Amino acid sequence: MEKNDKKRLEQSMLDVQNRNRRVEHELQLERKWRQKKEAEVASLEQRILLGNSGGERALHLRRSDRFHELVQPLRPPRSNLDGLPPTADAANLLHSWTSFQESLSHIIDTAYVQDSALNVETVPSSFANFVAEVLGPKPNAPMRNPDWVGRPGDSLYSVHVLKAYAAYLLLGEVFLSRFPDFEKSGGLLDQFREDQVLINGPEAVASHEYMGYKSLAQTEHFTNDTLPTKAKEICKKLDSCMSQFSTGNITLHAAGESGSDTYSIERFMNCAKEALMLKLELLLSKPGYLIQWIQPNDKFDARFMDAVANTGPIDPALLGADGQIRETRVSHCIFPALVQYDMSPPHDVQSALLCNKSFVVKERQASEDFQMIGRAVVLLEGAGCNGVVGGLDV
């Protein structure tokens, strides 16, 4: 019995050592990649400064330029560098954030309404609550505002609201949950702590909590069981809430599909997995992060928001020299912003991972201490039926 225990202990220690070596190797590769990207960004920023000072010919910042390759995808195209990610880490997060946004947006790509109008009875309580909480205090807005409901063959403005609703539901399910709760995932984190005690002593356990989460997130159990199980759970809830737009007076379709198709759980699976992995990435980072929904009637601010009309993104060239649209205000927020702030490390590492990072906030908190990672996407007042914003034809 003692021999078997000793063998199991030796094998456990060997497995941990191998895993640590593998993680360290991956970290070294990641450091080299990030150093390379940061050097490229720094080099390009220097070229931009020289170009702006007249020391070099003007540098045209279009989507085809090298900077776009570093921080893609950005939308709409920028006319200046304000708010672009200053580091490779921020560019990495922007890529994950916008990839998740576009993935969700493509699911809800187009919609049509079978009947010419909606009545109050067709709006479920969950949707009315969403309207009251995020889009304003008037739950009956969908029945009176043409931006909400289109007719067959016309521009379908309701798609913006459905995108906002799906984003609101999915982000809430992911970022308000305790995922990834390794404390309750089959004792995985407990086993990691036991291994660390054997190898490095009890004083080293606390300093290895982050590495523990990172290592556990790379295990087959997490990839093949924890992640898909949680994603499927979220998809069921999301599908249940969105199915109200697949019956009765409203039928929602994915682009290119026949009218008989409706949303299924699997359609949301990739979006849910992307959101869960993004949360894990933010949890394991040192800064704090906030997901900020822009409130109705807020003044449009190009530092925090991308403006869209029903016809698509609004050209930044039309925004004016100061990035403002003539005091134009937000009609509603389609997708929230992701902002970063400096966060003092708490004494309890577990608390840092699961409790101290409160991601979701209802109101925008403009501060010089915050760094914009991904702008919010907003529909502007007056950018509804006719595509005119603040007197500008878009």
pLDDT, one tens digit per residue, over 61-106 is 333 343 333 433 333 333 333 444 556 677 778 888 888 888 888 8
CA 37 to mean position of chain CA atoms: 22
Q: Is residue 37 part of a domain?
A: no
CA-to-CA distance for 84 and 371, rounded, in angstroms? Answer: 10
Find residue 379's DSSP bridge partners. 308, 332
Q: Is residue 20 part of a domain?
A: no
Distances (CA, A) of 130 to 29, 108, 236, 346: 44, 17, 18, 34
- pLDDT, position 262: 42
Residue that terminates a domain, selected from 161, 191, 216? 216
What pTM value is reported for the model? 0.62
Are residue 188 and residue 83 in the same domain, yes or no?
Answer: no
Are residue 242 and residue 365 in the same domain, yes or no?
Answer: yes
- Calculate mean pLDDT across residues 219-237: 87
- pLDDT, position 186: 58
CA-to-CA distance for 95 and 73, rounded, in angstroms? Answer: 6
Q: Scan for tokens 């759980």, then name that residue.
A: 265
Q: pLDDT band at 179, cuts 50/70/90?
A: confident
Are residue 352 and residue 365 in the same domain, yes or no?
Answer: yes
Are residue 245 and residue 131 in the same domain, yes or no?
Answer: yes
Are residue 295 and residue 386 in the same domain, yes or no?
Answer: yes
C-beta separation of 250 from 142 below 8 A: no
CB neighbours (10 Å) of residue 209?
19
Are residue 160 and residue 251 in the same domain, yes or no?
Answer: yes
Are residue 226 and residue 265 in the same domain, yes or no?
Answer: yes
Are residue 357 and residue 210 in the same domain, yes or no?
Answer: no
Are residue 176 and residue 196 in the same domain, yes or no?
Answer: no
Q: Is residue 253 part of a domain?
A: yes
Q: Is residue 76 part of a domain?
A: yes
Q: Is residue 95 part of a domain?
A: yes
CB neighbours (10 Å) of residue 216?
19
- pLDDT, position 156: 36
Are residue 189 and residue 222 in the same domain, yes or no?
Answer: no
Are residue 157 and residue 301 in the same domain, yes or no?
Answer: yes
Q: Indicate the DSSP class of residue 137.
A: S
Residue 332 has pLDDT above 60, yes or no: yes
- Calculate mean pLDDT across residues 220-234: 88
Q: Which amino acid is at 364?
A: R
CA-to-CA distance for 280 and 32, rounded, in angstroms? Answer: 22
- pLDDT, position 19: 72
CA-to-CA distance for 277 and 217, rounded, in angstroms? Answer: 9
Q: How many domains is the chain built from?
A: 2
Host domain of residue 370: 60-180+217-393
Residue that terminates a domain, selected from 216, 236, 270? 216
Residue 275 has pLDDT above 50, yes or no: yes
C-beta separation of 268 from 238 below 8 A: yes
Which residue, among 261, 381, 370, has the nearest Cα to 332 in the 3D structure? 381
Q: Is residue 246 part of a domain?
A: yes
Which residue, among 30, 115, 106, has the nearest Cα to 73 in the 3D structure? 106
Q: Is residue 313 part of a domain?
A: yes
Q: Is residue 284 part of a domain?
A: yes
Are residue 296 and residue 224 in the same domain, yes or no?
Answer: yes
